Amino acid sequence: MGPVEVVFLVVIAIFGAVGLVRGYQRELGVTTMLLITLFILEFLTDGPFGARINGFLLDAGMTASSLETMWAIVAVIMILVVTFISYQGLGLVYPGSGKNAFVSLLVGLINGYLFAGSIWYYLAKANYPFADVVPDYSSFYNFFVQILPPAIFGWEFFILLAVTMMIIRVIK
C-alpha cells in the first residue's frame, strides 16, 4: 500500500473540486459545521471536560491505548456524520453574489483540510486502529502530521472561529 499522506491529500483535492462546483457561499456553511464539530471533539478529548472524562474512563479500567482508539472511533464517526449532513441537508448558505472560482476552490480545500486532516489526526493519535499502517513514515508525513487542524489549534480557536462565522452569516 502507498503512503498514508497520499490518501489524505487526494481527499483534500476532492474537496477542492467539490468547492469549485458548489461555490463558496455553500461551502462556508460546511466550514462552520466542521469547526463546531472540531470544537466539540477537542473540548471532549483535550479540553477541561475531557480530562475528567478520560480520568473517569481510566479509573473504570480502560487502558490508555483503548481510550485513544475509542476517541478515534468517536471522532471519525462524528466528523463523517456532520460532513455528510452538511453536504446533503439544508445547510447554512452565506450571502454573496456570483461565483468566484478561486475563493470556492480555496474554501473547498480548507474544508478538505479540516475533514481529512482531522480524521488523519485522530487515527494517527490512536496508532491507526483497524488498519495495517507501517510506521516507516516519510519526512513529508512527519511534517504534515504536525500541522493537522487539532494538532495546531485548540478548542478555544475552533469555537471562536465558529462563532465569528455565525455572526458573519447573521449580519447581512
Q: Where are the domains of the chain?
A: 4-170
Mind listing the pLDDT tens digit for each residue in 110-165?
A: 999 999 999 999 999 998 888 777 777 888 889 999 999 999 988 889 899 989 88
Residue 95 has pLDDT above 80, yes or no: no
Mean pLDDT, the chain, whole residue set: 89
Residue 105's SS3 state is helix
Rounded percentage of the chain residues whose pLDDT exceeds 70:
98
Q: Which residue has the cell 462556508?
A: 28
Whole-number pLDDT of residue 118: 96
Half-sphere exposure at residue 136, Cβ-oriented, CA atoms within 13 angstroms: 3
Amino acid 92 reads L
Mind listing the pLDDT tens digit for each residue in 21-45?
A: 998 888 988 999 999 999 999 998 8
Angle, helices 101-125 vs 4-22, to 10°: value is: 150
